[in-house]
Amino acid sequence: MLQGGNGGRDSFSSKFGVIAAAAGSAIGLGNIWRFPYVAGENGGGAFLLIYLLFVAAIGIPVMMSEFVIGRSAQLNPVGAFKKIAPGKKWHLIGILGVVSAFIILAFYTVVAGWTLEYLVQSVKWMLLSNKIGFSEMDNEAVRGFFSNHYETFVSGIWRPIIWFVVMMFFTGYIVISGVKNGIEKYAKILMPILLVLLLILVIRSVTLDGARDGLVFLFKPDFSTIKEAPVKIIIEALGQAFFSLSIGMGTLITYGSYIRKKENLANTAVSVAVADTFIAVIAGVAIFPAVFAFGIDPGEGPELVYITLPVIFQSMAGGLIWAFMFFLLLCFAAITSTISVLEVIVAYFSEQLNMSRRKATILAMISVGFLGIICTVSSEVFSLFNASPDLMLPLGGFFIVVFIGWFLSKEKSRSELSSNGAYRTRFYRLFMFLVKFVAPLAIAFLFALGVYSKVISLFPGIG
Ligand code: PFF
């Protein structure tokens, strides 16, 4: 997918390639695993509404800003700021991004490993029971089986570590051999299949008895839920929007550096954000009706999806086959995201520290491997890492929009967004208004609130 062309540097070969790669990064476990459980813990409808608002008013402008920085500099996040703003401290944003990449890659790859476990389990059950469905087990039994399985699996030592290492290995392999060659080809076929499978799950889920309550929960905002913990809900909606869109840590600066000059950046950003948000909402529509129909607690936490999905499969003819296909595609969706995170570290190591791509990848894998293994053995570290994007990504995003809104010349950002005049930029004033005022003020305010509430929760005496 990457071809020579940008001054000898690789670039995506087609408009579709760019969107596939960036959407591949954005769409992943964040949509299908994290979004439903975070929405479930935070009351459903009201959370969704705030989330959508953040995607539109903050997420899309940050994404466009990252593309502008990456494409104009043609470098990794640290190198990009050094080049555009020499002698200033802006490149620290890039460093923050690389640090975030280590943390996110560690816990994310662990969760991706759970997907492999479920994939293997569905094959094992098919072989052992000689069946393609769970027919003789009732709902309670399947639910009990999975939640017990989840508990023993996640708290066990070796299996989560092995699956983590396997996922890490796949990711590293693809990054070393050039992310660029395979992804476009696979993404083109597999992403649409994932969507079709999700839609099949939606049909099954919304036709269950008692499904309506799930739809009401997801789509009817109940603002009284916000009153209980407003700061937590709003911060988590902002963090989830950043996490899901892959913004705030330079992933899309890195991908932006591979985008050809003639590509329309604003268009790409909007397409990616819409696709990503659509998949998250569809995942919610697949999960919540089943959650209510089967009496699962929507606030169950990170295991929500891993407990609910099997129960949906159980109620379908040929359930194990569906389960197998679904977890396989989920794995794929996870890998197109993990490679984008690893690419941030590898681009930094190879371009700034002059390492070969191979050496950079191996070094990154070993260090992330170390962090990831800590995540598998300590649920506290896992939770801490999993919560960190909520503050780290908006912080990165804040500086990115401030850079575009207040530092980079308007001629530069405008010519990047219009591809040197090839596209109309009627949205430019709105964009500038968002990156200059709306996004920085909103993020700064929420960030301060978030830090304050974290401090209070750690040291209740102060409040
Ligand atoms: N956006 C990915 C997801 O929703 O699964 C996760 C992710 C990828 C976050 C890349 C951050 C990132 F830089």
Any idea what DSSP says for residue 296? Answer: -
pLDDT on residue 131: 64
CB 62 within 8 A of CB 432: no
Q: Is the pLDDT of residue 142 over 70?
A: no
Probe target for ligand 1 pocket from 34, 104, 107, 246, with the most ligand atoms within 8 Å of CB: 246
| Best residue among 340, 344, 392 to mutate for probing ligand 1, ranked by most atoms within 8 Å of CB | 340
Q: How far is CA 399 from CA 154, 233, 393, in A?
A: 37, 23, 10
CA of 257 to the centre of ligand 1 (A): 18
The span from the CA of 249 to the CA of 233, in Å, is 22
Segment 409-432 mean pLDDT:
95
Ligand 1 neighbourhood includes 107 CB (under 6 angstroms): no
Residue 244 C-alpha to ligand 1 middle, in angstroms? Answer: 5
Rounded Cα distance between 378 and 384, Å, is 10
Question: Closest by alpha carbon to 78, among 271, 279, 272, 348?
Answer: 348
- Dihedral pair phi/psi, residue 191, rounded to 5°: -60, -45
Question: How many whole angstroms separate alpha carbon 245 and alpha carbon 247?
Answer: 5
Cβ-based neighbour number of residue 303 at 10 Å? 17
More confident position, 202 or 137: 202
pLDDT of residue 215: 97
Q: What is the set of domains in the chain, with CATH numbers?
A: 15-457 (1.20.1740.10)
Centre of ligand 1 to C-alpha 337, Å, is 6
Assess whether pLDDT exceeds 70 at residue 134. Answer: no
**Other CB atoms closer than 10 Å to residue 92's CB: what's the count?**
12
Is the CB–ligand 1 distance for residue 25 below 6 Å? yes
Contact 438, 58 (CB under 8 A): yes
Q: Which two tokens stand for residue 3?
A: 């071809």
The rounded Å distance from CA 245 to ligand 1 centre is 6
Q: Is 336 in the pocket of ligand 1 (CB under 6 A)?
A: no
Q: How far apart are CA 272 and CA 281, in angstroms?
A: 14
- The pLDDT tens digits for 49-87 are 999 999 999 999 999 999 999 999 999 999 999 999 999
- Across 89-93, 94-98, 268-272, 331-335, least confident range: 331-335
Query: Is there a contact between 251 and 338 (Cβ–Cβ < 8 Å)?
Result: no
Q: Is the CB of 251 under 6 A from ligand 1?
A: yes
CA of 4 to the centre of ligand 1 (A): 26
Q: 3-class DSSP state for residue 12?
A: strand
Q: What is the pLDDT of residue 182?
A: 57
